[in-house]
Chains A and B, each alone.
Chain A
Amino acid sequence: AQSVTQLDSHVSVSEGTPVLLRCNYSSSYSPSLFWYVQHPNKGLQLLLKYTSAATLVKGINGFEAEFKKSETSFHLTKPSAHMSDAAEYFCVVSGPDNFNKFYFGSGTKLNVKP
């Protein structure tokens, strides 16, 4: 079975400073891991995904995430926050042992201060 824990419900950063959104996962098999972003009144947008290729995954809008099996983590980072990054971010795990269904973390709301 899979599960995801997003360690912070809210993160607040200043514009131009680094962003770190934490995600830990639990999975019986080699998981696929995703980060999605949800802007207010808009649909979920895929930021990046890990599917057992390179452990450092680069996504859209300057985001990247590193898969660390020993730490069961998949933290999302960005070197410099932009005001438009303010949104809710979801870490997602899926795997073949559950028919590749998606299991969502509880979400992290990112606030970017000017």
Chain B
Amino acid sequence: GAVVSQHPSWVICKSGTSVKIECRSLDFQATTMFWYRQFPKQSLMLMATSNEGSKATYEQGVEKDKFLINHASLTLSTLTVTSAHPEDSSFYICSARAYSGSLETQYFGPGTRLLVL
């Protein structure tokens, strides 16, 4: 099946710094990738839709200036958490949209655990 990787798998940073998370589709091209956030013992919440070569679309309540998304190629999307604060600590998961014939699904990365001190 399709494989999606994320880097780093975990990161600890100081409050006020910025952190970049990479999401790569390893064996397929993805014009659309998605970024989710998962708090402990909670479900995944969609943050934004990342489209190759265009601006990301953010869900209601997600600050676009805080969570910068860049999708510069068909296999790479990045999420930068700017001026991170402790409340940004969470598990960030990306997915890439893929098609099998006319059937569409999403393949998920392993996630990045962010801890802001």
Interface residues of A (CB under 8 A from B): 32, 34, 36, 42-46, 49, 51, 90, 99-107
Contacts and interface: CB of A to CB of B under 8 A. Distances in A.
B111 A106 contact: no
Contacts of A51: 103
B46 A102 contact: yes
Interface string B5-47: 0000000000000000000000000000010100000111110
B45 to A, nearest CB: 8
Contacts of B104: 32, 100
B34 A43 contact: no
Interface in B92-117: 93, 95, 97, 103-111
Nearest to B44: A104
B109 A90 contact: no
Contacts of B36: 104
Contacts of B97: 100
Given A43-B93, A46-B1, A105-B43, 9 more contacts: A43-B108, A90-B43, A100-B104, A101-B34, A102-B34, A102-B95, A102-B106, A104-B36, A104-B45
Could you say which of B36, B95, B103, B108 has the most chain A C-beta atoms within 10 Å of its C-beta?
Answer: B108
A101 B97 CA distance: 10
B50 interface: no
Nearest to B3: A43
B110 A42 contact: yes
Could you say which of A32, A44, A104 has the most chain B C-beta atoms within 10 Å of its C-beta?
Answer: A44
Nearest to B110: A43
A59 to B, nearest CB: 12
Contacts of A90: 43-44
Given A51-B103, A101-B49, A106 B108 contact: no
A98 B103 CA distance: 16
Contacts of A103: 46
A49 B103 CA distance: 10
Contacts of B111: 43
